[in-house]
Amino acid sequence: MGNDAIRGDTAPEDSITIVNNASGDKVTFPILQGSCGPRVIDIRKLYGATDMFTYDPGFTATGSCESKITFIDGEAGILLHRGYPIEELAAHSDFMEVCYLLLYGELPTAGQKDKFVHAITHHTMVHEQLHKFIDGFRRDAHPMAIMCGVVGALSAFYHDSTDISDPYQRMVASYRMIAKMPTIAAWAFKYSLGQPFIYPRNNLNYAENFIHMMFATPAEDYEISPVIARALDRILILHADHEQNASTSTVRLAGSSGANPFACIAAGIASLWGPAHGGANEAVLNMLNEIGSPNRIGEFVEKAKKPDDPFRLMGFGHRVYKNFDPRARLMRESCHEVLNELGVENEPLLELAMELERIALEDEYFVQRRLYPNVDFYSGIIFKAIGIPVSMFTVLFAVARTVGWVAQWNEMVEDPNQKIGRPRQLYTGYEQRAYVPLAERG
């Protein structure tokens, strides 16, 4: 059937027919089946066949693209990266291997992994002029503001990897983004402290390097905790990619116009910053600190249920997961492991979070709306335990998600069906009217 719409009564099985009840007109559209997940109605010819658009604010039921990278089953709480369950990757893989998997579609051989890690490691330095660029910010600038600004400016420093029609330049830009995000992130943190920037070291792995750049000082040797390094590596895996979420869709839309990769990733960072998205991990910690003690949980749960109150239980709910977010479960497990291994007996925030989760999951409002803890609910507690300041929580999310953004961006650029993204609308404004000269206005 191709992707043509068909008028009239002929309708093959793998299709759906829309009947205009006013005119009786029938138009049939193809149904496409992926390798798993819901089928889709191919409505690319809808406007031509019906003079009508679809209407789906927030894209709650809209497939924006074809992808092979990540699959989510929200009902079953399943998350696969190139077919591999997140639980197995978190247990047996490491972040560099997951980066390779997301970019290239297969787990690397030992040789491929060594070559990839060597390449990423040797792109971790940033142009020295970026020192001065960061110096232009106020010391109290939110680190996400610095990330948006600096990453958006990278095309000015790495212009030799901005031709998106050149696969080699796309690969270099992708490696540069993955490799340099931790350096820029750590420098944003050091800048806020007034401490000197720490340079990446090629003898450290990705997570160790980030920890070293965040917490070392020139005054003494810094000993990296293997427990913290492993915990951070696992956190990076859990945040690496997540299908067509808001920030990834932002990267794809920006990229669809042919914008350079650094500008596209900066757009993704901006979208991730919102408290309804990646900014939720910072908001969860602020919320838990505001709740303060278990006897105030009920007050906040009730506040979250009030339709006229904009407050929501941060870290709860998800557009796709209507069951437990598998990452939240893994994050909760990590919380217990990391706190035990660090000898943190009873972290009050973890106790509070677990009590809040218990109360919310027994509350009819949350049960009826199938609101469960998401990836952001527990992540902040681990970040705090390993010494990451609250202002850096979303930055860490952006560091991890960069590989997902660049993998999805490359897939979009290479997609023969991709066009510039240009949604339409339901217009409810004024119909055409004549201009009124100033002298004649009331």
Q: What are the catalytic residues?
A: 318, 376
Q: Which stretch binds ligand SDX (CB under 6 A): 102-110, 318-326, 351-359, 407-415?
A: 318-326
280 part of the interface to ligand SDX, by CB under 6 A: yes
Residue from 28, 93, 124, 245 touching ligand SDX (CB under 6 A): that is: 245
Distances (CA, A) of 409 to 393, 413, 435: 24, 6, 44
412 part of the interface to ligand SDX, by CB under 6 A: no
Shorter beta-carbon distance to ligand SDX: residue 55 or 430 = 55
Q: Which stretch binds ligand SDX (CB under 6 A): 137-145, 307-315, 413-421, 434-442?
A: 307-315
* Least distance between ligand SDX and beta carbon 56 (Å): 12
Chain residues 98-157 in contact with ligand SDX, contact rule CB under 6 A: none
- Cβ contacts of 133 within 8 Å, gap of 6 or more: 149, 150, 153
Shorter beta-carbon distance to ligand SDX: residue 260 or 374 = 374
At 351, give phi and psi (nearest 5°). -60, -45
Do 341 and 82 contact (CB within 8 A), yes or no?
Answer: no
Do 339 and 401 contact (CB within 8 A), yes or no?
Answer: no
411 part of the interface to ligand SDX, by CB under 6 A: no
Q: HEC states along the chain?
A: CCCCCEECCCCCCCEEEEECCCCCCEEEEEEECCCCCCCEECCCCHHHHHCCCCCCHHHCCCCCCCCCCEEEECCCCEEEECCEEHHHHHHHCCHHHHHHHHHHCCCCCHHHHHHHHHHHHCCCCCCCCHHHHHHCCCCCCCHHHHHHHHHHHHHHHCHHHCCCCCHHHHHHHHHHHHHHHHHHHHHHHHHHHCCCCCCCCCCCCHHHHHHHHHHCECCECCCCCHHHHHHHHHHHHHCCCCCCCHHHHHHHHHHCCCCCHHHHHHHHHHHHCCCCCCCHHHHHHHHHHHHCCHHHHHHHHHHHHCCCCCCCCCCECCCCCCCCCHHHHHHHHHHHHHHHHCCCCCCHHHHHHHHHHHHHHCCHHHHHCCCCECHHHHHHHHHHHCCCCHHHHHHHHHHHHHHHHHHHHHHHHHCCCCCCCCCCCCCCCCCCCCCCCHHHCC
Residue from 26, 45, 113, 319 touching ligand SDX (CB under 6 A): that is: 319
Q: Which stretch binds ligand SDX (CB under 6 A): 76-84, 98-106, 191-199, 310-318?
A: 310-318
* Least distance between ligand SDX and beta carbon 76 (Å): 15
* Least distance between ligand SDX and beta carbon 51 (Å): 30
276 part of the interface to ligand SDX, by CB under 6 A: yes
At 293, give phi and psi (nearest 5°). -145, 155
Q: Which stretch binds ligand SDX (CB under 6 A): 19-27, 38-46, 263-271, 369-377?
A: 369-377
Beta strands 26-32 and 15-19 are antiparallel
164 part of the interface to ligand SDX, by CB under 6 A: no
**Binding pattern for the stretch 41-60 against ligand SDX, x by CB under 6 A and - elsewhere:** -----------------x--
381 part of the interface to ligand SDX, by CB under 6 A: no
Shorter beta-carbon distance to ligand SDX: residue 180 or 318 = 318
Residue from 313, 349, 352, 392 touching ligand SDX (CB under 6 A): that is: 313
Q: Which stretch binds ligand SDX (CB under 6 A): 156-164, 209-217, 270-278, 419-427?
A: 270-278
Residue from 304, 382, 403, 412 touching ligand SDX (CB under 6 A): that is: 304
Chain residues 320-359 in contact with ligand SDX, contact rule CB under 6 A: 320
* Least distance between ligand SDX and beta carbon 432 (Å): 34
315 part of the interface to ligand SDX, by CB under 6 A: yes
**What's the residue count for the chain?**
442
Residue from 184, 213, 371, 403 touching ligand SDX (CB under 6 A): that is: 371
314 part of the interface to ligand SDX, by CB under 6 A: yes
Q: Which stretch binds ligand SDX (CB under 6 A): 34-42, 206-214, 309-317, 337-345?
A: 309-317
Shorter beta-carbon distance to ligand SDX: residue 34 or 196 = 34
373 part of the interface to ligand SDX, by CB under 6 A: no
Q: Which residues bind ligand SDX (CB under 6 A)?
A: 58, 242, 245, 276-278, 280, 304, 307, 312-320, 369, 371, 374-376
